[in-house]
Chains A and B, each alone.
Chain A
């Protein structure tokens, strides 16, 4: 189903600047704190990264949809703090396991890259 599509697919800005799957991991990480809606998640990622990861908030939604399709998160309609109808996402047990696995893997990669990039003087 991921085969070629008529128009060349445009990648979302964040994905194009961050390693594959990073955005997914960040979303999962935010949801560990508890259910949140899209707006909250977007701002949380931005703030959490101290604005290093400037994301176009729209690109978050395809990621949310993908995660939901995989069954890592689940959604429900709720009311926001300022009393607006909003779609909330929460982590599923599978998602929680995935986050753990991905975090471990991520740390390994970071360590590995760090070792390579570190000056050899050490």
Chain B
């Protein structure tokens, strides 16, 4: 009804005009009949009727939707005002665009990584299954295959539950031999995720049963990912049913996953998916080697699922045989295994949430500073419009109306800024995705989706209120400011000046917080750079992985001999100074490092207890020389040790000190990884190495030879997957890798060389989280500082302009220009000091949230705080000195005669 009237009111108005005309005609006619002159008759008729325009206006207004109508008018006014002051508009829009753009970009990341559900149907039903074993000193125990069977068969809360892991698969039978990145899983993982193949089918329980029986001549089922299918088979749909040789065994392609399929955050993405082979008949309690995920039945909570596992753990303990290395079932009981299920998304996202939320908060502060700046600009500008507002108030504009108009103007400015900001965010997001560390999960999910756009719009609206409310309220409460001409008195604006000062204080305070934050990150980065990782000249160390499949070379000793042959060939390549290999290079990730219970000869262990877990890996002779780790006591492992009958070992300095008191006293001692294993004699002690990451302590470490008898239950254990460690000035060059590849292929032409990296790549990756946080925080702090400087400058410049008359008088009365300059600089510094005081308190309170990002620096690091205060004081002095100089340059004659 109202809307119809709203749109029909124009035609109605014409109608009404005619009606009023008809009244006038009739009345005039009657008047003439009464004997008036035509002229007088018309006049009398008009008098009788009243002001026709006003009548029409009144009726017209009856049919308006007033907020809409006035909004339209306010919008037009705001746009006109923006066009008329391009400088002001540009400054405001750009400031806001930066603030809103930066916030939108970071929110885009937060949204993609933390907020969006995983890209699977009903993703909130998905959980990851992990355990803790506090009695074993393991906070994060993975799952064993026996647990998988128990949980799957006894569980009451799971729809599907599966194991997965990653590993390489050598694919032959199509073109060159190739190591494909494989995702290995039990058949139910893909069912749990609820994904569908693009063509073909997924694994079934029947496939799993068949692969468990280890019948060699049956082709194993294999699923291809879309990218691999396109790359190797050109998207040929007849690939289903095709036979390949995978790891020297026949395999059959049964399906292809769709283009968008990604498995959690697996990086680099898998190319083929194959089944984990589990021989159920030979399982024991241990073998905690698998990651696990499950889909809960609808409505089941994570707590309920945890409770269900707690119920099943005793069932599992009693159902499976104890492994030979355990002294009995009580060992497992003493581990105090407890489930730690969590939503799968939390597991995928990991600890990155901390960094992102800190970034979000930081960038939010930048926006606050930007809003304070804009509010200041608006105040200054409305000062200039005081006259205009006074005239309009006198003409009957209500206070509310003027306030609303100011707010509408703010909204238009903010939305324009938001639109420009969105463009900036688009570019910014693209950049972030490019430079984001590989440790940032779910980068592929980051996009400018509707939620991010909505965020930008809401943010624009909120900021418009933030910076527009103050000027709006100022106008609405402004009383008795009539048309009092050019009232330029200093006292009249004192209260407004106070508001601006307060805004500057806020800006300085926030800028200080951000500067402290980025300062702490810089100090953290410095501290990390000073950490001795335990290996040297990372840029000169090339690594690459080579794998010898058991189907190809069965005897362990031949594996090692083949590896030694490769090593000899590589060592003689031009430019190669030394070469060695190991089961895992430092910082490669926790999965490649073994965790073993290390028994020490001469120590007794209480019944039911086992010694603490230690990290271990195998190294070839010459490894420590090649990677650059000093041997501080004893000697290196030799090839004679490797092939010889006696087992030897090396340990890290911290392990030697912990167990035997000193590096030298560790020499000649014996250790083993199981109560039944062969003793290994410690022949050397090496410097500590930050094996996990730069910012994590160097763990105590055991280094075994690459070939050992009776190791971990294997009669003779070779290290089939090795990382070549090649020290050469040409590390990282394609030339070196080409010659390394041909050296490898001259020994075995079907052996792929993959995961080619330099140690510097791994080192940088380990620093990535810190450098990412550092760069982002530094950008935020730089923006904050810049905006803060502009804020201080603006206020002082404005004060100078306002008081130019007063300055003129002072100068005319003989004040020294220098003293005047000092006066204004002092004013700027006082504001800064107050802001810094507030900022210090805030920073001390807020940096608590940063602790998890810091390394080697106290969060109340005095150096950081001192430097930041110094920088801020200098910036403030400069920001106030420039306008202060203008004050001293005031020409008294000009200012005094100006009005």
- Residue A4 contacts which of B2, B22, B66 (CB distance < 8 angstroms)? B66
A1 at the interface (CB under 8 A from B): yes
B454 at the interface (CB under 8 A from A): no
- Residue B26 contacts which of A6, A7, A80 (CB distance < 8 angstroms)? A80
Complex interface bits, A1-34 against B, C-beta within 8 A gives 1, otherwise 0: 1011111111010000000000000000000000
- Residue A65 contacts which of B27, B50, B62, B396 (CB distance < 8 angstroms)? B62
A92 at the interface (CB under 8 A from B): no
Q: Is the CB of B59 within 8 A of A65?
A: yes
A2 to chain B, nearest CB (A): 8
Q: Is the CB of A37 within 8 A of B22?
A: yes
A49 to B48, CA, bound (A): 17
How many A-B pairs have beta carbons closer than 8 Å: the answer is: 89
Q: Is the CB of B55 within 8 A of A58?
A: yes
Contacts of B401 in A (CB 8 A): 6
How many positions in chain B have a CB within 8 Å of any CB in the partner chain? 36
A55 to chain B, nearest CB (A): 9
Q: Is the CB of B398 within 8 A of A4?
A: yes
Q: Is the CB of B49 within 8 A of A57?
A: yes
A7 to B398, CA, bound (A): 7
**For residue B48, which residue of chain A has the nearest CB?**
A57
**Interfacial residues of chain A within 66-89, with CB under 8 A of chain B in the complex:** 66, 69, 80, 82, 84-87
A69 to B73, CA, bound (A): 26
A89 to chain B, nearest CB (A): 10
Contacts of B396 in A (CB 8 A): 7-8
A62 at the interface (CB under 8 A from B): yes
B51 at the interface (CB under 8 A from A): yes
With most chain A CB atoms within 10 A of its CB, the pick from B29, B50, B65, B70 is B50
Q: Is the CB of A10 within 8 A of B54?
A: yes
- Residue B398 contacts which of A8, A84, A85 (CB distance < 8 angstroms)? A8
B400 at the interface (CB under 8 A from A): yes
**For residue A85, which residue of chain B has the nearest CB?**
B22
A35 at the interface (CB under 8 A from B): no
Contacts of A61 in B (CB 8 A): 16, 19-20, 55, 59
Contacts of B20 in A (CB 8 A): 58, 61
Q: Is the CB of B22 within 8 A of A86?
A: yes
Q: Is the CB of B65 within 8 A of A5?
A: no
B834 to chain A, nearest CB (A): 41
A59 at the interface (CB under 8 A from B): yes
B574 at the interface (CB under 8 A from A): no
Contacts of A4 in B (CB 8 A): 66, 398, 400
**Interfacial residues of chain B within 381-436, with CB under 8 A of chain A in the complex:** 396-398, 400-401
A80 to B21, CA, bound (A): 13
B479 to chain A, nearest CB (A): 18
B745 at the interface (CB under 8 A from A): no
A58 to chain B, nearest CB (A): 3
A57 to B26, CA, bound (A): 13
A86 to B23, CA, bound (A): 8
B842 at the interface (CB under 8 A from A): no
Q: Is the CB of A6 within 8 A of B22?
A: no
- Residue B22 contacts which of A9, A42, A65, A84 (CB distance < 8 angstroms)? A84
B552 to chain A, nearest CB (A): 85
B61 at the interface (CB under 8 A from A): yes
Q: Is the CB of A65 within 8 A of B16?
A: yes
A38 to B24, CA, bound (A): 10
B265 at the interface (CB under 8 A from A): no
B52 at the interface (CB under 8 A from A): yes
B891 at the interface (CB under 8 A from A): no
A3 to chain B, nearest CB (A): 6
A87 to B23, CA, bound (A): 9
A1 to B2, CA, bound (A): 8
Q: Is the CB of A59 within 8 A of B50?
A: yes
Complex interface bits, B44-76 against A, C-beta within 8 A gives 1, otherwise 0: 000011111011001101101111001001000
A56 at the interface (CB under 8 A from B): yes
A56 to B65, CA, bound (A): 27
Contacts of B66 in A (CB 8 A): 1, 3-6
B347 at the interface (CB under 8 A from A): no
A39 at the interface (CB under 8 A from B): yes
- Residue B51 contacts which of A9, A58, A82 (CB distance < 8 angstroms)? A58
Q: How large is the interface on A (under 10, 10 to 19, 20 to 34, 35 or more residues)?
A: 20 to 34
Q: Is the CB of A66 within 8 A of B19?
A: no
Q: Is the CB of B59 within 8 A of A3?
A: no
With most chain A CB atoms within 10 A of its CB, the pick from B23, B48, B55 is B23
- Residue A1 contacts which of B29, B49, B54, B65 (CB distance < 8 angstroms)? B65
A45 to B877, CA, bound (A): 79
- Residue A3 contacts which of B19, B55, B67 (CB distance < 8 angstroms)? B67
A46 to chain B, nearest CB (A): 10
A37 to B27, CA, bound (A): 12
Contacts of B70 in A (CB 8 A): 5-6
B294 to chain A, nearest CB (A): 57
A28 to B331, CA, bound (A): 99
- Known A3-B67, A6-B401, A85-B22: A69·B5 in contact at CB below 8 Å: yes
Q: Is the CB of A39 within 8 A of B26?
A: yes
- Known A38-B19, A38-B23: A5·B61 in contact at CB below 8 Å: yes
B565 at the interface (CB under 8 A from A): no
**Interfacial residues of chain B within 727-762, with CB under 8 A of chain A in the complex:** none
Contacts of B58 in A (CB 8 A): 9-10, 12, 62
Q: Is the CB of A62 within 8 A of B62?
A: yes
B681 at the interface (CB under 8 A from A): no
**For residue A65, which residue of chain B has the nearest CB?**
B59
A7 to B2, CA, bound (A): 21
B278 to chain A, nearest CB (A): 73
Contacts of A62 in B (CB 8 A): 55, 58-59, 62
- Residue A66 contacts which of B27, B29, B55, B62 (CB distance < 8 angstroms)? B62
**Interfacial residues of chain B within 23-42, with CB under 8 A of chain A in the complex:** 23, 25-27, 29
Q: Is the CB of A6 within 8 A of B398?
A: yes
A59 to B51, CA, bound (A): 9
A7 to B66, CA, bound (A): 11
With most chain B CB atoms within 10 A of its CB, the pick from A38, A58, A69, A86 is A58
Contacts of B2 in A (CB 8 A): 1
Contacts of B23 in A (CB 8 A): 37-39, 42, 57
Complex interface bits, B8-19 against A, C-beta within 8 A gives 1, otherwise 0: 000010011011
Complex interface bits, B162-196 against A, C-beta within 8 A gives 1, otherwise 0: 00000000000000000000000000000000000
**For residue B396, which residue of chain A has the nearest CB?**
A7
Q: Is the CB of A39 within 8 A of B27?
A: yes
B41 to chain A, nearest CB (A): 14
B56 to chain A, nearest CB (A): 8
- Known A3-B67, A4-B400: A86·B26 in contact at CB below 8 Å: yes
- Known A8-B396, A65-B16: A84·B25 in contact at CB below 8 Å: yes
Q: Is the CB of B26 within 8 A of A82?
A: yes
- Known A4-B398, A5-B66: A87·B55 in contact at CB below 8 Å: no
Q: Is the CB of A58 within 8 A of B52?
A: yes
Contacts of B18 in A (CB 8 A): 85, 87
Q: Is the CB of A82 within 8 A of B29?
A: yes
A82 to B33, CA, bound (A): 12
Contacts of B27 in A (CB 8 A): 39, 57
A5 to B401, CA, bound (A): 9
With most chain A CB atoms within 10 A of its CB, the pick from B2, B48, B398 is B48
B169 to chain A, nearest CB (A): 72
A68 to chain B, nearest CB (A): 10
A48 to B61, CA, bound (A): 30
Please, could you name 9 A-B residue pairs with CB atoms under 8 Å apart, sorted by A? A1-B66, A6-B397, A7-B396, A39-B26, A59-B50, A65-B12, A84-B26, A86-B19, A86-B26
4 A-B pairs besides A39-B23, A57-B23, A57-B27 with CB distance below 8 A are: A9-B61, A59-B50, A87-B15, A87-B18
Which A residues are within 8 Å of any B CB, using their own CB?
A: 1, 3-10, 12, 37-39, 42, 56-59, 61-62, 65-66, 69, 80, 82, 84-87
9 A-B pairs with least C-beta separation: A58-B50, A56-B50, A87-B19, A58-B55, A39-B26, A58-B49, A86-B22, A62-B58, A65-B59
